């Protein structure tokens, strides 16, 4: 993860003519991925049997609020059988059962989207045959940790592991959905391979690192299906709060029969159950699980695999973001930004020599020099007669061409100075000064020199800079408004790091960072009560990934990094960390918004039902019946119907999530109270009144 400042060296790990296959690219839009639709009719049909299966009391008891509704449904059904002619009792029972089924359906639809994705992943699992290094063939299911297997072109990799010998092109589309192949090679941070992927070319030796049944794909299947999803701490705390409110309303409803007897009226068990169901927070109780599942699903849609719901939730509470400079904040490859000639040399002459000496340089830096010369001075690539090309190597750190008695060189400052002086030439006094100023500004200088009839001399400097990605300053501004502090981590020297940090707009930076420095920084932030998120891909990043509250490992990284993190980005795009934080915050915002709406709903239903119940014996209460509900039976049934339908109406919002905006905590609270609090108060009055107008037309109820 450290960034080297010498020119070209970090380009040598990849063959010169082979483009980097792991350059992060935006994946397909989430809308095109499996499960992106909210209400696919086929998915609803598939989820309906699961909704009925969840009526099992052993399943219902995991949700205290909905378990109370389930018990109430059973009781009202039993009492309805005692009086078969009571259509009011049957209507209440039917709508209570629908309330439970709608709640189960919300969870089943959320889980169903994950199951559809799991089915796609299962297709990637094959009963492959592995060829060990000694030539023996064994089923992939019999491989053990430490086994060495050989994979050649056309072979399916039989299990998760690390490449220990060779380099190969691998098709990972079964996992990432990206059709472009990737390069996997030994001895670097791109050595991890996944079982079920296919070797397209060359030969590699893989050391198996997981047991059968515990591979990456197996874990993905379990997680996206929801089978491995555990309730998060906030979700557990909210469940406890909802259970407490349910107990309070249960005790309150238990006192009503005595009050009714004293007032000279009677409340049946059906009425009491209906009243209890309307007053307890059934809306958020029904949608709570679906919100959590949908949050993880949104990550999966963006090709991020969360190993636990706790990680998603922690992402929403992150206050410090550690971002690697290369590939995250910057494009990663230094680009030519300008030609700076020495005194007495024109910029056009320097650009011509720089381009000519770069034609044999296939590194990204070399190609960018050719492009800049073409764009700024209209120079075209050409091949001089009798040219002898000097390719760039890590040893010489120079490239160039010898043609027509003229030699041109371009490369690292020390290398070019040594070349000029070795030919008896002189280095212009301002050349090293120009190079020093570029270095101080955070750039990388490349000297351009020529040897001709006038002797060897330096023409000027090519200014290379690591280009900050478009829009990063604005993104960091949004994070700052959310109260998140951003820290850039780089292996560059402090001067270079400061220049990039100021251009990108990050809050702080850590230069010349070592694994120990990253760990120490994370611990300092956590000691101050902050939650920290970071990305990494190498074995040296594993300790920091394990220490961070949200550790996002790149899928291209080593097995150690993926085991240490609690999220894996299948696209290996480090900038995804910003999206992960936004998804985490959206999850928390959605849960808070629907909780606010649910509680406001209950308050409104209380004022709708209680006055209608006792207005007959206490006429003064009729003044509180502001909706003018026609009768106590109509008021109760209308409230029960509304209570069931509002769950269905909010399922799309719980699955899609409340729209995220970077707001401060106080503004977010005001927004929740205004939109969802006030909306939760108004909606029941309008909905219950509309249903009452319909219900009042039913004989025996109105």
Span 76-124, pLDDT tens digits = 999 888 888 778 889 999 999 999 999 988 888 777 666 666 666 666 5
Helices (H), 306-407: 309-316, 347-358, 364-377
Q: Using H for helix, E for strand and C for coil, what is the string for 577-588? A: HHHHHHHHHHHH
**602 assigned to active site:** no
392 known ligand binder: yes
Contact (CB, 8 A) for 404 and 419: no
For the stretch 369-403, pLDDT in tens is 888 888 888 887 777 777 888 888 767 788 899 98
365 known ligand binder: yes
Residue 432's pLDDT is 81
Contact (CB, 8 A) for 598 and 283: yes
Residue of 171, 189, 324, 466 marked active site: 324
394 known ligand binder: yes
Residue 148's pLDDT is 92
Residue 508's pLDDT is 92
DSSP-derived secondary structure for 457-483: EEEEEEEEEEEEPTTHHHHHHHHHHTT
Contact (CB, 8 A) for 575 and 546: no
Contact (CB, 8 A) for 448 and 459: yes
**Alpha-carbon span 588 to 593, nearest angstrom:** 9
541 known ligand binder: yes
Residue 7's pLDDT is 36
**Interacting residues of 516 by C-beta distance below 8 A, sequence separation 6+:** none
What's the predicted TM-score (pTM) here?
0.65
525 known ligand binder: no
22 known ligand binder: no
**Alpha-carbon span 241 to 280, nearest angstrom:** 11
Residue 120's pLDDT is 60
Q: Decide: residue 648, CB within 10 A, 0-12 exposed, 13-18 middle, 19+ buried.
A: middle
**Alpha-carbon span 212 to 665, nearest angstrom:** 46
- The residues of the chain that CATH labels 3.40.1110.10 are 335-466
397 known ligand binder: yes
490 known ligand binder: no
For the stretch 112-129, pLDDT in tens is 666 666 666 666 555 677
**Alpha-carbon span 344 to 629, nearest angstrom:** 94
Topology of domain 321-329+469-570 in CATH is Rossmann fold (3.40.50)
- The residues of the chain that CATH labels 3.40.50.1000 are 321-329+469-570
Kindly give the parts of the chain with pLDDT less than 70.
1-41, 43, 112-127, 174-180, 188-189, 217, 219-232, 308-309, 327, 332-333, 394, 442, 612-626, 699-702
Architecture of domain 144-209: Distorted Sandwich (2.70)
DSSP-derived secondary structure for 344-362: T--HHHHHHHHHHHHTT--
Contact (CB, 8 A) for 309 and 231: yes
Tell me the chain's radius of gyration from C-alpha atoms.
33
**Interacting residues of 15 by C-beta distance below 8 A, sequence separation 6+:** none
Calculate ∠ Cα 189-190-195, nearest 5°: 130
Q: How many CB atoms lie within 10 A of CB 79?
A: 17
Residue 22's pLDDT is 37
Going from the C-alpha of 33 to that of each of 172, 178, 274, 494, 600, the distances in angstroms are 16, 12, 41, 43, 36
- The residues of the chain that CATH labels 2.70.150.10 are 144-209
Topology of domain 335-466 in CATH is Calcium-transporting ATPase, cytoplasmic domain N (3.40.1110)
**Alpha-carbon span 551 to 532, nearest angstrom:** 8
For the stretch 263-277, pLDDT in tens is 777 778 888 898 899
396 known ligand binder: yes
């Amino acid at each position: 993860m450290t960034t080297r400042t010498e020119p070209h060296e970090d380009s040598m790990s990849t063959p010169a003519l082979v483009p980097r296959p792991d350059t992060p690219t935006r994946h397909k839009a989430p809308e095109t991925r499996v499960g992106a639709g909210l209400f696919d009719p086929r998915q609803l049909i598939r989820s309906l049997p699961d909704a009925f299966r969840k009526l099992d009391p052993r399943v219902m008891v995991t949700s205290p609020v909905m378990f109370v509704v389930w018990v109430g449904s059973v009781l009202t059904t039993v009492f309805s059988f005692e009086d078969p002619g009571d259509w009011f009792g049957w209507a209440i029972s039917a709508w209570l059962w629908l309330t439970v089924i709608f709640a189960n359906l919300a969870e089943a639809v959320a889980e169903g989207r994950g199951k559809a994705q799991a089915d796609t992943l299962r297709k990637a699992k094959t009963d492959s045959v592995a060829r060990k290094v000694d030539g023996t063939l064994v089923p992939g299911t019999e491989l053990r940790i430490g086994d060495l297997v050989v994979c050649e072109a056309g072979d399916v990799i039989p299990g998760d592991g690390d490449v220990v010998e060779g380099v190969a092109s691998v098709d990972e589309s079964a996992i990432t959905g990206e059709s472009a192949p990737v390069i996997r090679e030994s001895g670097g941070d791109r050595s991890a391979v996944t079982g079920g992927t296919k070797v397209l070319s060359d030969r590699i030796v893989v050391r198996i690192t997981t047991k059968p049944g515990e591979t990456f794909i197996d874990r993905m299947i379990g997680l996206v299906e929801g089978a491995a999803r555990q309730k998060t701490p906030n979700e557990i705390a909210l469940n406890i709060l909802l259970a407490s409110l349910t107990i309070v309303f249960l005790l309150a409803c238990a006192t009503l029969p005595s009050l009714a007897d004293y007032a000279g009226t009677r409340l049946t068990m059906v009425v009491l159950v209906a009243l209890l169901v309307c007053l307890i927070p059934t809306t958020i109780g029904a949608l709570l699980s679906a919100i959590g599942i949908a949050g993880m699903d949104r990550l999966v849609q963006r090709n991020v695999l969360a190993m636990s719901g706790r990680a998603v939730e922690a992402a929403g509470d992150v206050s410090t973001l550690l971002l690697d400079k290369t590939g995250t904040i910057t494009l990663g490859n230094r680009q030519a930004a300008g030609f700076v000639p020495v005194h007495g040399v024109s910029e056009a002459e320097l650009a011509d020599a720089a381009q000519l000496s770069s034609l044999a340089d296939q590194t990204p830096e070399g190609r960018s020099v050719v492009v800049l010369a073409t764009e700024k001075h209209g120079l075209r690539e050409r091949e001089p007669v009798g040219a002898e090309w000097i390719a760039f190597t890590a040893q010489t750190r120079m490239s160039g061409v010898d043609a027509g008695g003229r030699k041109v060189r371009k490369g690292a400052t020390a290398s070019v100075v040594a070349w000029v002086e070795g030919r008896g030439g002189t280095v212009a006094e301002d050349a090293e000064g120009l190079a020093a100023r570029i270095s101080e500004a955070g750039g990388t200088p490349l000297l351009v020199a020529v040897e001709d009839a006038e002797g060897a001399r330096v023409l000027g400097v090519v200014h290379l800079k690591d280009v900050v990605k478009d829009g990063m300053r604005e993104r960091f501004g949004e994070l700052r408004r959310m109260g998140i502090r951003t820290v850039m981590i780089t292996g560059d020297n402090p001067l270079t790091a400061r220049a990039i940090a100021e251009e990108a707009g990050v809050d702080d930076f850590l230069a010349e960072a070592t694994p120990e420095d990253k760990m120490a920084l994370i611990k300092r932030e956590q000691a101050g009560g902050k939650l920290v998120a970071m990305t990494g891909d190498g074995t040296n990043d594993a300790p920091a990934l394990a220490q961070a509250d949200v550790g996002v490992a790149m899928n291209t990284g080593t097995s150690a990094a993926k085991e240490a993190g609690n999220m894996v980005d299948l696209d290996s795009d480090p900038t995804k960390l910003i999206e992960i934080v936004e998804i985490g915050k959206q999850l928390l915002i959605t849960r808070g918004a629907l909780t606010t709406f649910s509680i406001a709903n209950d308050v409104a239903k209380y004022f709708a039902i209680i006055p209608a119940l006792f207005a007959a014996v206490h006429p003064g209460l009729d003044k509180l019946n502001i909706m003018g509900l026609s009768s106590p039976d109509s008021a109760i049934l209308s409230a029960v119907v509304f209570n069931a339908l509002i769950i269905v109406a909010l399922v799309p919002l719980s699955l899609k999530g409340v729209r995220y905006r970077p707001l401060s905590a106080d503004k977010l609270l005001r927004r929740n109270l205004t939109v969802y609090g006030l909306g939760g108060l108004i909606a029941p009055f309008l909905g219950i009144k509309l249903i009452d107008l319909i219900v009042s037309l039913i004989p025996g109820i109105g």
